[in-house]
Amino acid sequence: MTTARKVFLALLVLDTLSVVAVFNAVSLFRGLLGGGHLILLPLLAPLLAMVFAIYLIDGYRPRTDMLSLDYTSLHSIALLSAMVATLLTTFVLLPQGYELKSSRTVIALSFIVLIPFTLSYRRIVYQRVAERRGNRAIVFVGNDASCLDFRQECERMRSTQSVIFSVVGSAPSVAPAPESVDQLRPLSEVLDEVRAGKLSVEAIVQRESGRDLPLEISQKLVELYFRGVPTYTLELFHEVYWRKIPLYRLNQTWLFQEGFQMAREPVFQRLKRTVDIVLASVGLLLAAPLITLGALAHWLENGRPVFFKQNRIGKDNVPFPLLKLRTMRLGADSQSDPYTRPNDSRVTRVGRFLRATRIDEFPQLWNVLRGDMSLIGPRAEWDRLVVSYNREIPCYYFRHLVKPGITGWAQVNYPYGANIEDTRRKLEYDLYYIRHFSFVLDASIVLKTIHVMLFGKGR
């Protein structure tokens, strides 16, 4: 059994025991238990809601940094969302006589107690896994240039995993690896150490497919793979570990590979559109007071107009007028710099707050109702910028095969893009979303978007 599977099962068991213990303890405290009776079957609803919410934020993946403040806040948001889902399920859908139906307080208090409780043992498990992983390395197989590229990508992704860079044949005289990483080594030598148990390996990553390797090396890799050593192509490693698609593999036939089923299937497109209409309608009603207050605040500071329209590129490269609350001085968008910079003088004081909390994007719900956008998808880019992106980034138009969204996988995983290199990086996440689209992934994006809004990470 792999480490990931063991961690998943261990945390699932701990979560189940925690729900049983906490809900019964709170019920006892509230005087709802007696005679040695335990609540068990009725806890299935809150347990499923909590497990699903934690799953959406990768709370069962051993590679998730559960010590970080970001994860702590995401975990809290996930459990509070599970609490709301449980309350709605309990008091709207479940019949009279359901044991928890009589006490909203028990449900609310139990979830509040579960937040620090479930976080505490996740941190312990993460530390144990990290200690073990610290002695295990990733073996990267490539040439001088690809080894250097992989090292730089690890630094960008803030990976703490040690890496052994290896090459087929003899190691070159110049090694690009930093001091904290082993020097370039012959692959056959590294594989022999792994087979002999002298080297503990987390994964083996190949820059190219095994067809380009000598037969002897391929046989060793196959043997290690069947002995339980994970072996990835570089593209698959990016998808599994970093949840993105590397651009170096892109060509005109990439879209014909496996995946994309849900993004292509008409029934799922219609279902997604139905969900968009329902949620955008409800969202506009709920957001109307915030939109009104934001518009009023901007009007008091800068006058009219309070709304801002700009041509953006949508699905199938069709332009549409995107609607937002104005956050810049009038005429600022006509200036030479198309990007918003940190402490940009064009952004008003009110606008800075609206951008940080993403309130300025709420009017885009109208674009969703019109059918120009979806709630979730790649960011809708300015038509002026798309012209240059199509010219400078191969296959950039792939992202226009789906509707743009108010929020998306790239938006919650990468900060605001302010240059062509940032655009390339965000495209990697957009392509992952297009390839792996699912309603589970959409739900994960929603939770992470709430985190961004609450902690003011917009620009």
Domains and CATH numbers, the chain: 3-133 (no CATH), 137-242 (3.40.50), 261-332+342-454 (no CATH)
Residue 454 DSSP SS3: helix
Q: Between residues 294 and 456, which one has the greater pLDDT?
A: 294
Residue 443 scores a pLDDT above 80: yes
Q: How far apart are CA 227 and CA 246, in angstroms?
A: 28
Specify whether the CB–CB gap between 325 and 307 falls below 8 A: yes
Enclosing H/E stretch for 183: strand 182-186
> Exposed (0-12), middle (13-18) or buried (19+): which is 120, by Cβ within 10 Å?
exposed
Angular region, 169: left φ>0, alpha ψ -120 to 50, beta rest: left
Specify whether the CB–CB gap between 138 and 203 falls below 8 A: yes
Specify whether the CB–CB gap between 119 and 174 falls below 8 A: no
Residue 295 DSSP SS3: helix
Q: How far apart are CA 15 and CA 117, in angstroms?
A: 9
pLDDT band, residue 336 (cuts 50/70/90): low
Q: Which residues pair with 185 in a beta bridge?
A: 166
Q: How many CB atoms lie within 10 A of CB 196?
A: 8
Q: How far apart are CA 18 and CA 254, in angstroms?
A: 45
Q: What is the pLDDT of residues 9-47, one digit of tens each?
A: 999 999 999 999 999 999 888 777 766 678 888 889 899
Residue 410 scores a pLDDT above 60: yes
Q: How are the residues of the chain apportioned to helix, strand and coil, as percentages rounded to the nearest 5?
A: 60, 10, 30
Match 């069709």 to its residue by tokens: 318
Q: Which residues make Cβ contacts (< 8 Å) with residue 206, sequence separation at least 6? A: 141, 142, 213, 221, 231, 232, 233, 234
Q: How many CB atoms lie within 10 A of CB 220?
A: 19
Q: Which residues make Cβ contacts (< 8 Å) with residue 218, sequence separation at least 6? A: 210
Predicted local confidence at residue 111, as pLDDT: 95
Q: How far apart are CA 165 and CA 162, in angstroms?
A: 10
Q: What is the pLDDT of residues 113-155, one digit of tens each?
A: 999 999 999 999 998 888 777 668 888 988 777 888 888 888 8
How much is the mean pLDDT over the chain?
85
Q: What is the pLDDT of residues 157-170, one digit of tens each?
A: 888 778 888 877 65
Q: Secondary structure of 198-264 in the HEC alphabet?
A: CCCEEEEEECCCHHHCCHHHHHHHHHHHHCCCCEEEHHHHHHHHHCCCCHHHCCCCHHHCCCCHHHH
